[in-house]
Every structure is written in structure tokens, then in C-alpha cells.
Amino acid sequence: PGGPPAPAGSAADRHRAELEALRERLLVSLVLSVPVVLMAMVPALQFDNWQWLSLTLAAPVIVWGALPFHRAAWTNLRHGAATMDTLVSVGTLAAFGWSLWALFLGDAGMHGMRHEFSLAVSRADASSAIYLEVAAGVTTFILLGRYLEARSKRTAGAALRALLELGAKDVAVLHPDGREERMPADRLTVGTRFVVRPGEKIATDGRVVEGSSAVDASMLTGESVPVDVTAGDAVTGATVNAGGRLVVEATRVGADTQLARMATLVEEAQSGKAEVQRLADRVSGVFVPIVFLIALGTLGGWLLAGGGATAAFTAAVAVLIIACPCALGLATPTALMVGTGRGAQLGILIKGPEVLESTRRVDTVVLDKTGTVTTGRMTLHEAVPADGVPEEELLRLAGAVENASEHPIARAVASGATERTGPLPAVEDFENVPGLGVRGRVGGRTVLVGREPLPGDGGDGDGALNANAREMLDQTERALERL
């Protein structure tokens, strides 16, 4: 668990390089394909010998641009499998091969050849027909789909990396002789004790062995109210120590921590397959052989019907070209990738693509309050002073003491007091009492702020104030019940 860490940016750099290479392949193919398609579809753009320029432009797209599909098809063929890449490769190569035959052995290469464009169905001389625009256009279109899918994966990966970045980078390890040593957090091992000071992140999952404090887990759970911990309590890595000094013994490190498991959950959701995606894969496995059988049947049917070899091969090639997939193999994985990635960016961990797919059957949504229907940040709503104490004076004194604390509630009180009274005075002899509150001296007066019993206060407090506090608590509970 404490071995040398893998280079943090290696995977990200590799994905970035792959995305840039795919983007370059797409842009080159797009620039070369657009003129080919326009010349084939717009007769006014067809000058003498335009077909040879079309061949010059289309050849790199079909050979180099579609190279990933050709490689995948060859790999699948060696394993006796057939996928959508097989159809793309066979369809584009069939169109390209037929076009080469028509240009060099047929009539398509003749000077002054024109490629008429019509929406009507009519018979034409197959030896003068070329399909370069189809092969180049299909290649570019599917490259676009692959690029969008890869970019969405990178976006989702960025959200995953942001989740992992929540963890602490270094830690103060406590040696048996009491000496502290700073070291990278990924070198921690189970059983190692480390020190967490107020405001620092807890380096890994562990158990408190010394000290008491309040832990802010809002970055992981969305819960804005810190949790009080003391010796024997479990703490989670990447949470923030909002109170006193803690000594923690590591119980889980590396891939076993809660943060790492959350990251694994996101990664598995991105790589998993929903039911509709598995259906698309099963359809592909059957669809590809059926397409080849239909193409062979079309070839044999035309030959038996006496249509001639040229017309028969033209019809068979047309079947292969038309069967080139567009949305079947791209739409589902892209939609799932974008959905899980966007969810991770918004702090929503989707257990798997099948869960995302099942949301269409949801008829009731249950939300927890904190950070979901609220902002997750506490604010000062109202101050209720004792009789004879001005509200401004109460806020000024309490805000001054709370301003020296790292506790989220203290920050809310200090911020609200500053907004209502202006700059806060300095505090002296500040002391944080874990689990209870804070105390200090402001302008010669001792100020205690916290929960009952107040730190350092031996009495029972003001009865009227206690009654007001209970009434406010009852109102809050009724509000939660209505939510």
C-alpha cells in the first residue's frame, strides 16, 4: 500500500494525446471529404477530369482516416468476430474498390464524365458510377462520432480526476519518539499515525487515537454541519479538521479508502454497459453476418437473373455501403458517457449505466436536505439577545470570538456579525473547547460561545434564552418534517 506512486499525469497525458491524434485525423478527413462530397452532389462543380481530383482527395481519407476501423476489422476477423468496425471497413473499402475499378477499367475515368445527381430512382451505367463521396463521407461522419465520444470520456475523466484531487497531498507522520515528519500522503501505510491540525485535510481513512475536534465532511457528503469526533471515532480521508489537533491512525490507504472507492464507482459507471447498449452489441454480432449474406444473395440473385456481372456487383456493393452504421454503435455509449460524466461534475455518483437507464421508470424522488435542496452553507438567520443586551453588542462580541475559529458554524456567525455590525474587534486568550464551543476575551469581557453547557460556564444559563432556543429548534424540526 505504501509503494511508489504512479505518475499522476501519465493517464491524463495519454488520453490527451489520443484525443489530439483523433482530432487531427478528423480535421484532415473533413477538409478532404467536403470537396469530394460537393463535387459529387453538385453537377455545376464538376469540371473536366474532376473525378481524378476526387480520387486524389478521397484516397487519404479512406486509407489513412479510416485506418482505426480497418485495424479493428482485421483484429476481429482474426478472432472470428464481427462488429460495427467490420461494416465500416468493408463498406468503405468496397465503395473505394468499386470506384477504382470504374475509374481505371470502366467508363468513369473518361474525359468529360459527369455525375448527375437526382432523387429519382433510375437505372444508369454502373461502370461510370463512383462512390468516393460515400466512402469519404461515411468515414468522416463516424470519425466525428468517435471524437465526440472520446471527448466526453475525457470530460468525464476530468470530473474523476477532480474527485481524486480532493485528497490531501502530504501528511505529518508521527513517529514513536514524538517526532513529526512531512511526507507524501500516498506513502502512508496501515497503522501509521499522523497529525491533523485545524484547517488541514485528513490524509486517509483512519481512527482517532488522540484529541477531539469537529470534522467537516461537506466535500464528500454535502453535509455542512461538522461531525464531532474524539478518540476511538472513525474519520474519512479528504475531510477537513475544523477544530482541534488530532492524531489519527491509518486504517485504510490507497485504493481501499472511501474516496478511492467513490472514484472507482464513477469509473465503473463510465465503462459499464446499459441494457440497450448490450442489446446494440448483440444486434451488431448478428447484423454484420446478415449484411454479408444479403450482399452475397444480392450478387447471386442479379447474376441468376441475367443482370450481368457489372450490375450484380454494383447492387452488392450498394448493400454493403448502405449497411454502414451511423447511430447504432455510437449514440448509446456517447449518451451514457455524457450522462455519467456530467453527473460526476455535479457531485452525483451514478452506480452504473443500467441505473441511469432505469431512471425512465422513476415516479418518486427522495432528496436529503443538505446540499441538495439547500446551498449546503450555513448563514446567520436571527440573533435573540437576553434582556437588557443590545443585539448589535451581542453580535459584535460573539462574532469577534467566532471569527478566530475554523468551525463552519463559527464562520457563519462571524460573517453574519460582520455584515450587520461592521469590522469585528480583536479577541484575546482565545480557546477552542472541542465539542462545546469557544471562549475568549473581547475588550476586557469574557465571552463564551457554544452549545449547552457553555464552555467554562458553571450555571444553567438564562431560562428565557433556553426557552427561545427550544422554540427555534421545534420550528426547525417542523420545517424539516414538511420537507
Neighbours of 275 (CB within 10 A): 12
Residue with cell 485535510: 201
Instruction: Specify the 3-state DSSP secondary structure of 459.
Output: coil
Residues across the chain = 483
Question: Which residue is catalytic, options 256, 368, 460, 474?
Answer: 368
CA 8 to chain CA centroid, Å, is: 17
Lay out the sheet containing 445-450: strands in order across: 428-433, 437-442, 445-450
Q: Annotated catalytic, 368? A: yes
| Contact call for residues 344 and 160 (beta carbons, < 8 A) | yes
Cis bond upstream, residue 453 (ω within 30): yes
User: Which amino acid is located at 386 in the chain?
Assistant: A
| Crossing angle of helices 50-60 and 132-164, rounded to 10° | 30
**Cβ pair 69, 92 in contact under 8 A:** yes
Spatial separation of the C-alpha atoms in residues 62 and 51, rounded to whole Å = 16
Task: Name the nearest CA neighbour of 247 among 270, 229, 223, 273.
Answer: 229
Catalytic residue positions, numbered: 368
